[in-house]
Structure 1
Amino acid sequence: MARLTRIEQKAVTRRRLVDAASRVFSRVGFEAAPIDVIAEEAGFSRGAFYSNFESKDDLFVELLGRHLDEEMDTLGRSLDRITSAADLAPAIERRYQVLGGDSSWCLLTTEFQLYAMRGGSKAAEFAEIYERYRQRLGELIACHFNRLGVSSDLTPYEFGVSQIALSHGLALQRAANDSLDKSLPARALATFMRGAIADTARPPSP
């Protein structure tokens, strides 16, 4: 097996650090996660961490970008399989079942957003990445609404923002009250979808 080049080795190290950070952040949150623990979880030293990232904030921004890219890819594949407007709400419900079982990412993103807004060093980068995510989500929704002959009183961008707000808000509510049914986020988002597109379907575009 050929040895990795220095650039390839660095990419592997960064990936392992990002993956380790995702696990540590999920367990204890962003602010409570020590850099030493992240490095140890990845199998590296503190020095290796700082050879790849300038700070924990820097690492989180990379983790966020990767997570949102994966989220868009997964959602896009899910929507591609839909053939009618009636399939939208059930598809959303299936897609968000995972949120009921594991809301750690929603909580983590909310924590970092508040931290960034209160003076975090990567506030501008966070805002840029998340706005790009909102724009991409809106474009994806617009594409499939048009394909399926769906209209809404909300713009596709507003529809996407509302979905994000609901999913994160529901995650916070479940964190505060673990007696809430874990299926609530998925069911609530599906209900929102049904209400938002009720009586607006038209023949799909050719």
Structure 2
Amino acid sequence: MPRLSRAEQREETRRRLIESAAKVFCRTGFEAAPIDVIAEEAGFSRGAFYSNFESKDELFLALLSGHLDAEIETLSRALDRIKAADELAPAIERRYRVLGEDSSWCLLTTEFQLYAMRGGKMAGQFATIYESYRQRLGELIETHFDRLGIVSTLSPYEFGVAQVALSHGLALQRAANKALASTLPARALATFVRGATG
């Protein structure tokens, strides 16, 4: 196997640190997560962490950016499979079933959003990344609404924002009350889609 170049080694180190951070953040929360533990679980020293990221905030934004890109890609593939307007709500329900089973990402994003809004170091960067996600989500929805002939009382951007808000809010409710059915987020989002596009 050929040796990795210096740039490839750096990219691999960053990837492993981001993967480790995802696990540690979900386990302990953003603010309580120690940099030493993130580095150790990735198989590196604290020095290696600071060679790749200036702070835990910067690492979280790299993690967030990658996660949101993957969310857009996954949703895009799911929407591409839809052939008729009446397939949209069932597709959204299938897509969000996983949310009911694992709310850790929604909790983590909410924690960081509150931290950023209260004066976190990279509040501006967080706002930019998340607004880009909302815009891309709106554009994706608009493309498929046009393709399927769907008319909504909400603009595609508003539809996307409402979808994100509902999914995160439902995840918080499930985290606070485990008696709520794990299927609630998916079913409620499907109900929202039917109402907003009916």
TM-score if structure 2 supplies the norm length? 0.99
Distance 1:142 1:32 in 2: 39
Corresponding residue for residue 173 of structure 1: 173
Give structure 1 stretches of 5+ with no counterpart: 199-206
Corresponding residue for residue 25 of structure 1: 25
Corresponding residue for residue 38 of structure 1: 38
Number of aligned residue pairs: give it: 198
Corresponding residue for residue 5 of structure 2: 5
1:42-80 alpha-carbon deviations (Å, 9 max, x no partner): 000001000000000000000000000000000000000
Give structure 2 stretches of 5+ with no counterpart: none
Corresponding residue for residue 204 of structure 1: none
Superposition map of 1:114-193 within 5 A: 114-193=114-193
SS in 1 for 2:7: helix
Report how far residue 189 of structure 1 moved: 0.2
Corresponding residue for residue 109 of structure 1: 109
Report how far residue 2 of structure 1 moved: 1.1
What letter matches 1:151 in structure 2?
V
What letter matches 2:105 in structure 1?
W
Distance 2:40 2:171 in 1: 29
Report how far residue 131 of structure 1 moved: 0.1
SS in 2 for 1:154: coil
Say whether residues 1:90 and 2:90 are aligned partners.
yes
Distance 1:106 1:141 in 2: 21
Report how far residue 12 of structure 1 moved: 0.1
For the aligned residue pairs, the C-alpha RMSD in angstroms reads 0.4
Corresponding residue for residue 58 of structure 1: 58
Report how far residue 107 of structure 1 moved: 0.5
Corresponding residue for residue 77 of structure 1: 77
Corresponding residue for residue 67 of structure 1: 67
Distance 2:183 2:31 in 1: 29
What letter matches 1:44 in structure 2?
F
What letter matches 2:119 in structure 1?
G
1:105-137 alpha-carbon deviations (Å, 9 max, x no partner): 011000000000111111000000000000000
Misfit runs of 4+, over 2 Å:
none
SS in 2 for 1:136: helix
What letter matches 1:85 in structure 2?
A
Percent identical across equivalent pairs?
Answer: 74
Distance 1:76 1:68 in 2: 12
Distance 2:71 2:121 in 1: 25
Distance 1:181 1:70 in 2: 26
